[in-house]
Structure 1
Amino acid sequence: MPPLTASAAPRADAVADITLPADYDLAGTLGVLARGKQDPTIRFTHDGVWLAYAAAEGLVSLRLTARRGPHGTTVHARLWGPGAASALAGLPRLLGVEDDWSAFDDPGFQATLPPLVSRPRRLHPGLRLPATGRMVDALVPAVLEQKITTIEARYSWRYLVSRHGSPAPGPAPAGLKAAPSPEQWRRIPSWEWHRAGVDSKRSGTILRVCGAASGLERLAAAEPGDGLAAKLCSVPGIGPWTAAETTQRTHGDPDSVSVGDFHLAAFVGYALTGRKTDDAGMLELLEPWRGHRQRVVRMLVLSGFRKPAFGPRLAPQDHRFH
């Protein structure tokens, strides 16, 4: 693990430098954490990437900037708030330091990949899979995204976090917020869920997640895989898709596939074979690259490939008056 150096006013402010390979892509690595361009919890600005969240000892604002030098890329981190010191320990995993692509990048493995996968990897050699370790913060937006359009889900997340989240400490950009804590989620009144366009099934699942928050957060230390997914799915309302979308972000799981996604199976099918397929067909197509299936999917997305646009679309629904 690269060395961390820190100087801090106790529990208030900290500074750290982490050295990564010269081709490291900070914005590309952290981009998967954003729920749209207007996500209140993360900002990509001219002076770096800003995040706000609750660390072990309290709220923290984190500003990250990357600078290339003769010995690699140095990511400079500045942290404000009572959780600043405790957030330092999670920085390497957040930046994807522990995400090892060496087997994926091995020439022999690369030779097995189609151009729609190998070419984007050559163009994005510094991409890593981040691991936040924050289970509830990843589960809630994934639940909001269940069976609705992306536009609807992003609006719901933005509305709820903006109104019920906590202002970021320190000199953060205006409007940067930490997502509500489990206690704050539980205090949101029913009419606010309706105004956010969230039906009772999804809000009920979020409340169950918050009720089990202490146990769920302990899963951040678990190894990714079927066992972890099964534990997440033990919460009523959490299925394989939600579990996969969560562990991709909390654990940087390189093999997690979002089975049950409205578009993904067809996208993968068309990209790899020119034909539409279902979830079982998608998993069969990805099987030769087991252990790296999420990496393959990420590269397909970065390739710019678009599946044919035909057939019915999932229409937005208005839950406010139901």
Structure 2
Amino acid sequence: MTLAADPAPRAWTMRETSYRPRAPLDLHETVGILRRGPKDPTVVRDGSVIWLALRTTAGIATLALRPASGEVHASAWGPGADAALDLLPALCGALDDPDGFDPSGHPLIAATARRNPGLRLTRTGAVFDALSGVILEQKVTGLQAYGAWRLLVTRFGDPAPGPVPRPMTVAPDAEGWRRIPSWAWHRAGVQPPQSRTLVRAAERAPSLERAVLAAGDGAARDAALTSLPGIGPWTAAETRIRALGDPDAVSVGDYHLAHEVGFALTGHRTDDDGMLALLAPWAGHRQRVVRLIRLSGAAEPRRGPRLAPEDHRTR
């Protein structure tokens, strides 16, 4: 169950630590994937500082990350402050192993890898927290998903502790998501299939998280996640990317990704099967290649209007 909102949060003692990565680190490109839109109440960028409002096994916490002189300085507040500081190396990609990755197989990938030596794959370890946000992104535009996330988290989450640069909120825990009333889903523009899937996931959150964390490889993680109705390969891959920093996860079924990969690597669009064939030479590091493609600046000229948001609240 979520903590009760405190209208006058007490002043938490600041806890601090530092992390010195073994290799170059681009903190913003590495951790920035956790941000769900520019107005995400759980992730805020304030100058060079990244602020995270998160839920740990010890309670909620706010974590501020500052890059400085080859280190990342971290400050944390709240009952989960120490647990949040323990996450620092994983958030900064310490568990990401690029051994065996050879970008030389394509000039675009090789050039982008040279320009971005600090890209690492972050890992939160929080499977359900990642899954809840991904479910809201199913079959809608990013604008719709980010709006729903912001509304629901702000209304049903917990105020972030500490001196945050703007109001921030910790996303609800599984019980908090389960208790959201039907009118709130409707008001946020979330379709009934997505709200039902998120509630089912919340009901099984502990066992689902244990199964995913115990799985030995990507296929086993996908099997654990897709065992729940309403969760398919795209949702499983997007969850693996954020929660586990999975270097080989590919979001098959994405509206744009196959087109982006095809255009970047061949100059032409392709479908999911074609994308998987193009990425096959980098098996084990396909997510790393996808991230580099998105950093490369290679973009197909737009051929038509953007997909218009669809409002399901009147149906």
TM-score, normalising length from structure 2? 0.92
Q: 2: CA distance between counterparts of 1:86 and 1:234?
A: 30
Aligned counterpart, 2:200: 208
Aligned counterpart, 1:36: 37
The amino acid across from 1:53 in the alignment is L
Q: 1: CA distance between counterparts of 2:66 and 2:270?
A: 41
Residue pairs, 1:97-176, within 5 angstroms = 97-104=94-101, 109-112=102-105, 114-176=106-168
* Deviations, residues 140-189 of structure 1 (Å, cap 9, x unaligned): 11111111111111111111111111100121223211111111111211
Matched, 1:269 2:262: yes
**Paired residues of 1:224 and 1:253 also in contact (CA < 8 A):** no
Deviation, structure 1 residue 101: 2.0
The amino acid across from 2:283 in the alignment is R
The amino acid across from 2:194 in the alignment is R
Deviation, structure 1 residue 233: 0.3
**Paired residues of 1:56 and 1:87 also in contact (CA < 8 A):** no
Aligned counterpart, 1:24: 25
Deviation, structure 1 residue 229: 0.8
Matched, 1:78 2:78: no
Deviation, structure 1 residue 255: 0.5
* Deviations, residues 78-133 of structure 1 (Å, cap 9, x unaligned): 111111122233221111112122432xxxx2322x22211111111011100001
**Paired residues of 1:13 and 1:85 also in contact (CA < 8 A):** no
**Paired residues of 1:134 and 1:220 also in contact (CA < 8 A):** no
Deviation, structure 1 residue 232: 0.3
The amino acid across from 2:108 in the alignment is L
Deviation, structure 1 residue 37: 1.1
Deviation, structure 1 residue 310: 2.0
Q: 2: CA distance between counterparts of 1:199 and 1:240?
A: 19
Q: 2: CA distance between counterparts of 1:111 and 1:151?
A: 36
Aligned counterpart, 2:185: 193
Give SS of 1:111's match.
Answer: helix
Deviation, structure 1 residue 312: 6.8
Q: 1: CA distance between counterparts of 2:166 and 2:55?
A: 18
Deviation, structure 1 residue 216: 2.3
**Paired residues of 2:63 and 2:85 also in contact (CA < 8 A):** no
Matched, 1:252 2:233: no
Segments of 5+ residues of structure 2 without an aligned counterpart are 1-11
Give SS of 2:93's match.
Answer: coil
Give SS of 2:55's match.
Answer: strand
Q: 1: CA distance between counterparts of 2:138 and 2:185?
A: 15
Aligned counterpart, 2:84: 87
Q: 2: CA distance between counterparts of 1:38 and 1:115?
A: 36
TM-score, normalising length from structure 1? 0.90
* Aligned sequence identity (%): 51
Aligned counterpart, 1:8: none
Give SS of 1:156's match.
Answer: helix
Give SS of 2:50's match.
Answer: strand
Q: 1: CA distance between counterparts of 2:242 and 2:217?
A: 11
Residues 221/39 of structure 1: CA separation in 2 closer, same or farther (3 Å cut): farther
Matched, 1:284 2:285: no
Segments of 5+ residues of structure 1 without an aligned counterpart are 1-10
* Deviations, residues 193-240 of structure 1 (Å, cap 9, x unaligned): 111110110000000110011112323354441101110000110000
Aligned counterpart, 2:4: none
Aligned counterpart, 1:5: none
Deviation, structure 1 residue 22: 6.2
Give SS of 1:230's match.
Answer: helix
Q: 1: CA distance between counterparts of 2:262 and 2:85?
A: 41
Matched, 1:321 2:305: no
